[in-house]
């Protein structure tokens, strides 16, 4: 990262450069985010009309660090209020500190005791740039921080900039939409205390013409699991700045004297080669720099929720475990209903000891049985919650978020514990540590089933802090449990996919993608999910038909083939599956284990041919294609499916048929799929590149 005169710096990644400059008013300006530039080329940016040293009357400059101050009428990622009421910042550039793959700009307010550090970090082999902001109150009076975005990303000028986003709701997470960006500010975010089903903290910008395989894309993701907002601002001349940060309107953080506020990481990525290329780069980043155990492939798990819900005994769980093991499952997860008085969703949440009627001898016998079946044992918990009908709530009614003279709104008969309180966080950590220390638990499904309401903290002199400290304390508990129980693996769940982000993925191993396990609906959910998160974390269960949620009937192979595009799991009631389905399920689980390294660790490419859609995963010499087609129109035959990213000079053996294909033909003309002409046809195709 060579520094240049005048005050211009470049953050280089293997294929991109991000160039910033400090202008004559000490403001940090984004000059370039795109293909890699040489130092000489980067300097030439100063000759462009956008140059900070060629002010154009009437054109609003674009800032990498938008600090609220005079004449800055656009979105400002940094907004504070000093104790005397002053809101404008006047930041002076102090220094740029360069490290290995690391660049930090330090600014200090010209009068008030505030130091601002904005940091850029890159990793070898990745085009992702991570940014954070740190604010330090160097005085004694508190400073109110109204907004502290981790990063503002200046996107180069585009004719018709388009926004891609992931929206949704419960049972319909990560729906991908692309819309032309309107002038002004477009804000997406969550005020729910959790990442949310409604919006995922990721956006992509393109020129309106990118496809899956062509065109430049600028994307950003926020690594935070609490409330957040991403502001996409299109200025009067069409320029776009994307600003991402934690918190939401109208909450503010009080920064006491001597205190430092560190924001979560906002990661930015510029790619060429279309949306699939951007997604692939995010997946590689997740595997190399986010996930705690990237080298592991995730086991095929069985989860008992849809089979039994709240109605089971230890023996029921044992019978399910035996059937799951016979099918080839490697991890058995007992879901909700094992603890306290939790025989329905009205009681017991918060009391993390085994229900004595269901487990008179504790969890030991079941765990022993599961391990005896050759599987690991996992268990469901929802530690941030409490049912009012629980011993915990009776003992500590003040431990939930609440406000004086206001109702305590329940969702699913539960309230949210004030995890921001250190004593509550310590208590939750201790209960979980006890559970994990007393039992040989290999895996935890950590759920969070309701958003915050009446989010108050009576008695606190800084109650808005709860929005930040809840998430920070959650992270700290997870980090501590992982450190003390190094073999433990964790699944993040929030009524399905309500807490999926790079913050939680730093300390968990997979996520529960959606409570909607309908294979047809899952295709869209998984496509959206895959824009940013890798298949390696995308939990996908095969459940019963008709589907319990949608009542849609879908053949077993189709259900499996869709789930095999992620972390395959089984979640159906195996007690009622026919012998034939159990046997076919076992074959498909065995198929999955062969293709698993390519799916979970390989490069994903979405495919389409007529009514057939699917995905291709490549790793080393292995190419795996999973395809599905809901129905054909007018009995038209399926077109050939063109594969992507193949070695055009190589030959590939189709492991189903033994036939050898030329890479050049598969790419230019495609592969004959031979799908069943009936509705809900699907297939898994394994190709091996021949030496």
Is there binding between residue 533 and ligand GLA (CB under 6 A)?
no
Is there binding between residue 335 and ligand GLA (CB under 6 A)?
yes
Residue 380 token pair? 């469901």
Of 287, 309, 255, 494, nearest to 385 by C-alpha is: 494
Q: What's the residue count for the chain? A: 691
- Of residues 158 and 542, the one with the C-beta less far from ligand GLA: 542
* Catalytic residue list contains 361: no
- Of residues 449 and 623, the one with the C-beta less far from ligand GLA: 449
| Interface map 110-149 toward ligand GLA (x if CB under 6 A) | ----------------------------------------
Q: Phi/psi zone of residue 58: left (φ > 0), alpha (ψ -120 to 50 degrees), beta? A: left
- Of residues 244 and 435, the one with the C-beta less far from ligand GLA: 435
Q: Of 149, 464, 469, 515, which residue is the catalytic one?
A: 515
Residue with tokens 């077109």: 639
Is there binding between residue 108 and ligand GLA (CB under 6 A)?
no
Residue 34 C-beta: closest distance to ligand GLA, Å: 40
Is there binding between residue 617 and ligand GLA (CB under 6 A)?
no
Distance, in Å, from the CA atom of 161 to the CA atom of 142, rounded to the nearest integer, reads 40
* Catalytic residue list contains 345: no
**515 annotated to bind ligand:** yes
Near ligand GLA by CB under 6 A: residue from 447, 469, 591, 654 = 447
Give the DSSP H/E element, type plus range, for residue 482: helix 466-484
Phi, psi (rounded to 5 degrees) for 444: -125, 130
- Of residues 263 and 449, the one with the C-beta less far from ligand GLA: 449
Phi, psi (rounded to 5 degrees) for 338: -100, -5
- Tell me how many residues contact ligand GLA (CB under 6 A): 11
Residue nearest to ligand GLA (CB): 336
For ligand GLA, which stretch binds (CB under 6 A), given 89-97, 172-180, 492-500, 682-690? 492-500
Residue 198 C-beta: closest distance to ligand GLA, Å: 16
Residue with tokens 């025989």: 343
**522 annotated to bind ligand:** no
**228 annotated to bind ligand:** no
Near ligand GLA by CB under 6 A: residue from 496, 534, 585, 602 = 496
Is there binding between residue 449 and ligand GLA (CB under 6 A)?
yes
CB atoms near residue 426 (< 10 Å): 12
Residue 591 token pair? 């198929």
**449 annotated to bind ligand:** yes
Which residues between 283 and 322 bind ligand GLA (CB under 6 A)?
305
For ligand GLA, which stretch binds (CB under 6 A), given 364-372, 480-488, 489-497, 631-639? 489-497
Residue with tokens 């590149």: 689
**493 annotated to bind ligand:** yes
Within 394-552, strands assigned E span 415-416, 443-446, 489-492, 510-512, 538-542
- Of residues 246 and 452, the one with the C-beta less far from ligand GLA: 452
Is there binding between residue 340 and ligand GLA (CB under 6 A)?
no
Residue 469 token pair? 């400290």
Distance, in Å, from the CA atom of 671 to the CA atom of 661, rounded to the nearest integer, reads 8
Helix intervals (H) in 13-99: 39-44
Residue 289 C-beta: closest distance to ligand GLA, Å: 28
| Interface map 231-250 toward ligand GLA (x if CB under 6 A) | --------------------
Distance, in Å, from the CA atom of 199 to the CA atom of 205, rounded to the nearest integer, reads 16
- Do the Cβ atoms of 564 and 589 come closer than 8 Å? no
Is there binding between residue 515 and ligand GLA (CB under 6 A)?
yes
Of 592, 576, 580, 586, nearest to 319 by C-alpha is: 576
Of 626, 685, 619, nearest to 656 by C-alpha is: 685
- Of residues 515 and 557, the one with the C-beta less far from ligand GLA: 515
Residue 303 C-beta: closest distance to ligand GLA, Å: 7
Cis peptide before 250 (omega within 30 of 0): yes
Residue 415 C-beta: closest distance to ligand GLA, Å: 15
For ligand GLA, which stretch binds (CB under 6 A), given 313-321, 346-354, 488-496, 546-554? 488-496
Of 678, 615, 683, nearest to 643 by C-alpha is: 615
Residue 496 C-beta: closest distance to ligand GLA, Å: 5
- Of residues 127 and 335, the one with the C-beta less far from ligand GLA: 335
- Do the Cβ atoms of 481 and 235 come closer than 8 Å? no
Is there binding between residue 336 and ligand GLA (CB under 6 A)?
yes
Residue 539 C-beta: closest distance to ligand GLA, Å: 9
Is there binding between residue 164 and ligand GLA (CB under 6 A)?
no
Of 628, 669, 621, nearest to 647 by C-alpha is: 621
Distance, in Å, from the CA atom of 336 to the CA atom of 341, rounded to the nearest integer, reads 11
Distance, in Å, from the CA atom of 682 to the CA atom of 290, rounded to the nearest integer, reads 33
- Of residues 412 and 552, the one with the C-beta less far from ligand GLA: 412
CB atoms near residue 625 (< 10 Å): 23
Distance, in Å, from the CA atom of 310 to the CA atom of 572, rounded to the nearest integer, reads 15
Residue 548 C-beta: closest distance to ligand GLA, Å: 12
Residue 493 C-beta: closest distance to ligand GLA, Å: 5
Which residues between 347 and 406 bind ligand GLA (CB under 6 A)?
380
Give the DSSP H/E element, type plus range, for residue 588: helix 579-601
Residue 449 C-beta: closest distance to ligand GLA, Å: 5
Q: How far is CA 422 from CA 432, 449, 471, 531, 690, in A?
A: 15, 22, 12, 36, 59
Q: Of 109, 127, 206, 447, which residue is the catalytic one?
A: 447
- Of residues 478 and 684, the one with the C-beta less far from ligand GLA: 478
- Which residues does the annotation place in the binding site? 170, 335-336, 412, 445-449, 493, 515
As annotated, the active-site residues are 447, 515
Q: Which residues bind ligand GLA (CB under 6 A)?
A: 305, 335-336, 380, 447, 449, 493, 495-496, 512, 515
Per the annotation, binding residues for substrate are 170, 335-336, 412, 445-449, 493, 515
């Amino acid at each position: 990262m060579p520094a240049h005169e005048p005050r211009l710096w470049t953050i280089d990644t293997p294929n991109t450069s991000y160039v910033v400059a400090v202008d004559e008013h000490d403001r940090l300006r984004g000059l370039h985010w795109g293909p890699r530039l040489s130092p000489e080329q980067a300097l030439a940016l100063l000759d462009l009309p956008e140059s900070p040293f060629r002010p154009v009357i009437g054109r609003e400059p674009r800032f990498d660090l938008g600090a609220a101050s005079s004449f800055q009428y656009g979105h400002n990622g940094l907004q504070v209020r000093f104790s005397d009421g002053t809101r404008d910042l006047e930041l002076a550039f102090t220094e740029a500190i360069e490290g290995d793959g690391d660049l930090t700009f330090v600014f200090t307010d010209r009068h008030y005791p505030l130091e601002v550090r904005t940091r850029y970090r890159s990793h070898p082999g990745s085009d992702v740039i991570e940014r954070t902001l740190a604010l330090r109150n160097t005085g004694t009076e508190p400073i109110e921080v109204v907004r502290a975005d981790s990063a503002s990303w200046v996107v180069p000028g585009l004719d018709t900039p388009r926004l891609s986003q992931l929206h949704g709701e419960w049972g319909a997470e990560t729906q991908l939409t692309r819309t032309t960006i309107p002038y002004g500010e477009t804000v997406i975010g969550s005020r729910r205390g959790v990442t949310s089903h409604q919006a995922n903290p990721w956006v992509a910008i393109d020129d309106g013409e990118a496809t899956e395989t062509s065109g430049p894309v600028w994307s950003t993701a926020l690594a935070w699991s609490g409330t957040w907002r991403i502001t996409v601002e299109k200025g009067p001349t069409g320029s776009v700045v994307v600003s991402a940060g934690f918190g939401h309107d109208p909450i503010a953080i009080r920064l006491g004297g001597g205190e430092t506020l560190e924001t979560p990481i906002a990661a930015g990525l510029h790619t060429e080669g279309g949306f699939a290329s951007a997604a692939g780069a995010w997946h590689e980043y997740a595997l190399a720099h986010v996930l705690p155990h990237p080298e592991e492939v995730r086991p095929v798990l069985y989860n008992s929720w849809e089979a039994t819900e709240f109605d089971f005994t230890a023996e029921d769980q044992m019978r399910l475990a035996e059937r799951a093991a016979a099918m080839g499952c490697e991890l058995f997860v007992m879901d909700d209903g094992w603890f306290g008085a939790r025989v329905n969703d009205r009681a017991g949440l918060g009391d993390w000891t085994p229900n004595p009627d269901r487990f008179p001898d504790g969890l030991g016998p079941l765990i022993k049985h599961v391990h005896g079946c050759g599987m690991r044992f996992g268990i469901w918990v929802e530690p941030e919650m409490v049912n009012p009908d629980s011993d915990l709530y009776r003992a500590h009614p003040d431990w939930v978020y609440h406000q004086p003279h206001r109702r305590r709104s329940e969702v699913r008969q539960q309230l949210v514990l004030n995890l921001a309180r250190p004593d509550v966080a310590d208590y939750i950590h201790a209960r979980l540590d006890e559970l994990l220390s007393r039992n040989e638990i290999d895996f935890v499904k950590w759920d969070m089933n309701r958003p915050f309401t009446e989010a108050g903290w009576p008695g606190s002199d800084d109650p808005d802090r709860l929005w930040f400290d809840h998430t920070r304390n959650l992270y700290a508990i997870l980090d501590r449990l992982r450190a003390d129980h190094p073999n433990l693996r964790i699944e993040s769940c929030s009524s399905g996919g309500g807490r999926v982000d790079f913050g939680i993925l730093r300390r968990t191993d997979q996520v529960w993608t959606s409570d909607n396990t309908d294979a047809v609906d899952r295709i869209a959910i998984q496509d959206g999910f895959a824009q940013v998160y890798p298949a390696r974390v995308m939990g996908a269960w095969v459940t019963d038909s008709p589907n319990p949620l949608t009542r849609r009937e879908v053949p077993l192979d189709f259900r499996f083939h869709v789930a095999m595009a992620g972390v395959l799991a089984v979640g159906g009631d195996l007690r009622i599956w026919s012998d034939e389905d159990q046997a076919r399920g076992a074959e498909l689980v065995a198929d999955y284990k062969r293709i698993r390294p390519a799916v979970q660790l390989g490069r994903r490419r979405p495919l389409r041919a007529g009514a057939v859609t699917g995905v291709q995963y490549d790793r080393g010499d292995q190419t795996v294609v999973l395809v599905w087609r809901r129905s054909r129109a007018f009995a038209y035959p399926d077109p050939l499916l063109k594969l992507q990213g193949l070695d055009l000079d190589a030959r590939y053996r189709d492991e189903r048929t033994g036939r050898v294909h030329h890479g050049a033909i598969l790419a230019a003309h495609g592969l004959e799929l031979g799908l069943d002409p009936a509705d809900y046809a699907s297939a898994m195709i394994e190709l091996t590149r021949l030496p």
